[in-house]
Structure 1
Amino acid sequence: MTTSRIPYADLPVEVRRAVEAHTGPVLDAESEAEGFNSSVAARLTSPTGTYYVKGLRVDHPRVWAQAREAEVNPYVRGTAPALVARVESGGWDLLIFEAVDGHHADYRPGSPDLPKVVAALRRLAEIPCPPIELRYAEQRLARYAARPEDLDQFAGHALLHTDWHNTNVLVTDQGARLVDWAWATQGAPWLDAAYWVIWLIAFGHDPASAEQWASRVPTWQAAPVGGIDAFAVTNATMWDEIGGDDPDPWTARMVGAARTWRDYRKA
């Protein structure tokens, strides 16, 4: 489900005042074109600096994502941009982050961004799972698993990002930073590398090349072969459901990538 985007300037005055209590007067607001999940997503410039604001109306069915991101942020600073404030005003729930200068990761074969994404995966694996309420990977994947016992392979105590859309990885001069933590999850430590494999295939890697990149992450090296096999099957089923009978081109590409990896693991 995509969310309609509105310009920052169209927010009620009281909401913008609440934001500017943390940012200072906004001199410029540039809406972000990428992303599907926020009604407002904009880069703000003020005398105190540059910020990124995103959010939803409080009655939006996915507003829970705002709370999840706010809760996880203190534990992932350095890997993710720092949260400046969460603003709830005038029927809106907004998150204000420090802005990060960078570009969306290029996952294509030969991209110089790939080693930086590997480094981000390595850093993330070193962060202890925070003492906050998170969904478990085996819960999220339960309806798609071919066998109930496969779910045991996905369980664990690691903090996972799980949404490796390339727009969620910003490549900066200091390395790759991870944004949009709405789907932060607790599970097996190798799962983030496995989620990344599907995206690599979608961007033109063959499965062997994609797994080669994943193998540079120590958690992948320790993953059980049967767990990876089960995950590939499970995710193909998930993407088949997301795609439905008439997927848009972007979704169709992901469905195809997930099927390709599943078939490779089964061969």
Structure 2
Amino acid sequence: MAIFVMLSAAPQLPLDWVSMHAATSVRPDWSSLPVRVRAYAEEQLGAGVTKAMTCGAGYTPGLACRLQLADGRRAFLKGIGGDHPFAPQYRSEVEITPLIPEGVGPKVLWSTAPEEGTDWWLLCLEDLPGGNPALAPGSADTAAVIEAVEKAVKALTPAPLADAEPITKRVGSWLTGWANLAAGPTQDLDPWAVRNLDRLVSTEPLWQAAAGGETFIHWDLRPDNFVMRADGTAVIIDWSYPHKGAPWIDPVLLIPQLIMAGHTPSEAEKAVAHLPMPSPDVLTSFAIALCGYWEISARRTNPPGVPFLREHQARAASIARAWIAHRTRWA
């Protein structure tokens, strides 16, 4: 998250291009930024901003907008104030993104921290004008996204962040949704989940024993965290989690995204089967753990500035239930 400024010598899309993905956050626009932030960004960019379009996709309430510069270049700008509740996530992105090889992630041009004079986290990257990929069946973008993840797994093993923490240290505590739901009232759960709750709870943690490894994990792979290049390849953005683990984790995270885009569970699994994959039992456990996370998260209130997050998580939970049912044949 942090401010991303992406530059290109020649624009390839109209500035009023709008992401195909529904907005999940309410973002500030360029004109509402503090004067010192705009002045600093323009100084670093080497040109003034003549036009700005706020981009709505994503799950945090920071700035994200495409800019047209006075010298004809384009830029994409993303950021947040240093005292915002989401600031730690942006700080991680500022620190991690320069470590990601160019081509796997975007090219970094410059960055700054709040204490350097703007009170904001700022990060400047190349312009990636191709927009977010469409993962629907038959889309050429799907193959490009899968190839990008395969490339990332290879390039990020071993992890480029020396103190990357094991994925289970933090994420393991997040993916305990079914156990937490079973401890309270269950009348609002889907009937299938109620019937299988004991099995969901007992299977939920089993993936953790197979999650160790030295691969740097993105963890948040969704269509809005990929951007297409003009040559049809995809770049992964929003590197904000300092985790390492097994090389199968990010490839498996693509499966529910493909299902949400219209692939059947069988088609989605087949599409990534050539990437690193865990054993069938571990894959089932991980699917259950992801579903439990989305189930319990969807029942929380929305964070400030992100009014549609829980609705998205409820849909993700429904998709994951179908994926689990496909894998387990539980009635």
2:44 is the counterpart of 1:22: yes
Q: How does 1:45-84 map to 2 (within 5 A)?
A: 45-46=68-69, 47=71, 49-76=73-100, 77-84=102-109
Contact 1:79 1:178 in 2 (8 A): yes
Partner of residue 54, structure 2:
31
- Describe the superposition over 1:89-138 as per-residue Cα deviations: whole angstroms up to 9, x where unpaired: 44322222221010211111121111111110111011231134434321
Greater Cα shift, 75-84 or 134-143 = 134-143
Partner of residue 239, structure 1:
294
> CA, structure 1 residues 245+50, in 2 after alignment: closer, same or farther (shift >3 Å)?
closer
Contact 1:134 1:184 in 2 (8 A): yes
Shift in Å, 1:266 = 1.8
Contact 1:125 1:159 in 2 (8 A): yes
- Describe the superposition over 1:45-75 as per-residue Cα deviations: whole angstroms up to 9, x where unpaired: 2227322221111111221122221222223
Shift in Å, 1:248 = 5.0
Partner of residue 119, structure 1:
147
2:326 is the counterpart of 1:264: yes
2:210 is the counterpart of 1:153: yes
Shift in Å, 1:36 = 2.5
Shift in Å, 1:200 = 0.9
Contact 2:300 2:310 in 1 (8 A): no
Contact 1:141 1:234 in 2 (8 A): no
Shift in Å, 1:245 = 7.6
Aligned residues: 263
TM-score by length of 1: 0.89
Specify the SS of the correspondent of 1:27.
strand
TM-score by length of 2: 0.73
Partner of residue 103, structure 1:
131
Shift in Å, 1:232 = 0.9
Greater C-alpha radius of gyration: 2
Greater Cα shift, 149-158 or 253-262 = 149-158
Give the share of equivalent positions with the same residue, in percent: 25
Contact 2:94 2:122 in 1 (8 A): no
- Higher relative CO (Cα under 8 Å, sequence separation at least 6) belongs to 2
2:251 is the counterpart of 1:193: yes
2:160 is the counterpart of 1:130: yes
- Determine which structure has the larger strand proportion and give its number: 1
Contact 1:40 1:54 in 2 (8 A): yes
> CA, structure 1 residues 67+101, in 2 after alignment: closer, same or farther (shift >3 Å)?
same
Contact 1:72 1:132 in 2 (8 A): no
Q: CA RMSD in A?
A: 2.2
Shift in Å, 1:144 = 2.6
Structure 2 residue ranges without an equivalent (≥5): 1-23, 177-200, 302-308
Contact 2:26 2:56 in 1 (8 A): no
Q: How does 1:138-177 map to 2 (within 5 A)?
A: 138-139=168-169, 140-145=171-176, 146=201, 148-174=205-231, 175-177=233-235
Structure 1 residue corresponding to 2:316, chosen from 237, 243, 254: 254
One-letter amino acid matched to 1:8: W
Contact 1:56 1:63 in 2 (8 A): yes
Shift in Å, 1:33 = 2.0
> CA, structure 1 residues 56+191, in 2 after alignment: closer, same or farther (shift >3 Å)?
same
Contact 2:299 2:310 in 1 (8 A): no
Shift in Å, 1:184 = 5.0
Q: Give the Cα–Cα distance (whole angstroms) in 2 for the partners of residues 10 and 191 of structure 1.
A: 39
Greater Cα shift, 104-113 or 80-89 = 80-89
Contact 1:142 1:151 in 2 (8 A): no
Q: Give the Cα–Cα distance (whole angstroms) in 2 for the partners of residues 143 and 69 of structure 1.
A: 20
